[in-house]
Amino acid sequence: MKKSGGTPLSYKLGEFNSMVFNAGLHDLSYVGHFFTWHNQQTHNPIHIKLDRVLINDNWLNSFPNSYYIVEDPDCSDHSPLILVNSPSVNKGHRFMFKNYCLKNPDF
Residue-by-residue pLDDT tens, the chain, 107 positions: 565 555 655 556 678 888 889 999 999 988 988 888 777 778 888 878 888 899 999 999 999 999 998 887 777 788 888 999 876 555 566 666 666 667 777 76
Instruction: For the beta carbon of residue 68, count every other beta carbon within 10 angstroms.
Output: 22
As a whole number of Å, the CA-based R_g of the chain is: 17
- Cut 0.85: pTM above it: no
The domain ranges of the chain are 3-103
Beta bridge partners of 67: 84
